[in-house]
Amino acid sequence: MKKLKFALYGCGFWSQFQIGAWKELEGAECVALYNRTISKAEALAQRFGIPRAYDDAEELLKNEQLDFIDIVTDVDTHEKFTLLGAKYGLDVICQKPLAPSLEAAKRMMEATKKAGVRFYVHENYRWQPQFRRVKEILDSGVIGIAFRCETAFLTAFPLFETQPFLAELEEFALTDQGSHQFDVLRYLFGEAETIYCEKQTVNPTIKGEDVTTSILKMRNGVVCIQKISFSSPLEIEIFPQTTLLIEGDKGSIRLDAEFEISITTASGTTKEVVPMRAYPWQTDRLKPEPPSIVDINQNILNDMLGLGKAENTGDDNFETVRLVWAAYQSANTGKVIKLSEFS
């Protein structure tokens, strides 16, 4: 099998998981790392056996023979590095959230299309095993026609200790977690017709919102209620899990924080626990993340190699980005936003 060579941009907290996931796959090899602080890049390169480290983003591209770049930097730099990759004719994978604004996302889309390179967004939540299983159950028709869904991401986990830059973002909960949650809803039910959102800042030490409540009406008629909170102390801290309830005219699907799925119909309730693959580079808390990163990377790699079709293209994720910024417009104006009129 041909092995594609790539460089990873960004050596912060998340990079260790991204590199670990790539190491699980045949067909791709990370040959260089970039980070503005060279010591971080060198340390990560030594840990994972990566040949070279750089603190000059363009020098890396001049020196290395690459097939693609994988961007895992802060969101404010996503556009810069995406355009740089496109300039050198390389396929680009960009971490979510795609961009710090809708206009920046548009420029990234335009640049990659103009350059004729493939553009992917690393939106891994829909690849978490529990959501793949929920989708299978939903599509089986066992609960009939779905009419309502509620998802909740509620935590008081000290996230800002491991990723302090998040506290400085003017927009936080919707860009950081809403991009995940809205993408899962799109994966399960298709595109949204309207969205209404309320946002709050409960934690006084951060700049952006940390609590949001959104109502989405999907084109297929399902009404989705989506709740995010980074300021909700619970009896059991479940970060970073999402709970879910889908109601249909013949039954319901419930996903709890321990990855147990309950399927209830007139015949009764059946339960199953979704198994989670484990890897030596993961942390105990991030149980559903490692398999989702491996699987999305495999899906993207298959697309690059001509062995399959990627789900998380730039075009697909742009619809999630539009939802995020439509939610902000709703929260700022107090109005229901029609997606057909939002651009």
* pLDDT tens profile 13-47: 899 999 999 999 999 999 999 999 999 999 999 99
E strands within the chain? 4-9, 28-34, 52-54, 68-71, 91-95, 119-122, 146-154, 192-200, 211-218, 223-229, 243-248, 251-255, 260-265, 268-273, 337-338
Q: Which residues pair with 198 in a beta bridge?
A: 213
CA distance 199 to 229: 10
CA distance 82 to 80: 6
* pLDDT tens profile 62-87: 999 999 999 999 999 999 999 999 99
Provide the mean pLDDT of the chain.
Answer: 96
Is pLDDT at 1 greater than 80 in this prediction? no
CA distance 327 to 333: 10
pLDDT at residue number 236: 84
Phi-psi region of 197 (alpha: psi -120 to 50; beta: other; left: phi over 0): beta
What homologous superfamily does CATH list for 125-275+313-341? Answer: Dihydrodipicolinate Reductase; domain 2 (3.30.360.10)
Phi first, then psi: give them for residue 9, nearest 5 degrees: -100, 120
Sign for the pseudo-dihedral over CA of 112, 117, 121, 122:
negative
Fold (CATH) for 4-122: Rossmann fold (3.40.50)
Task: Please report, rounded to a whole number, the percentage of residues in the chain having pLDDT higher than 70.
Answer: 99
Residue 170 and residue 178 in contact, taking contact as beta carbons nearer than 8 Å: no
CA distance 271 to 253: 10
Is pLDDT at 206 greater than 80 in this prediction? yes
Domain boundaries, the chain: 4-122, 125-275+313-341
CA distance 95 to 73: 8
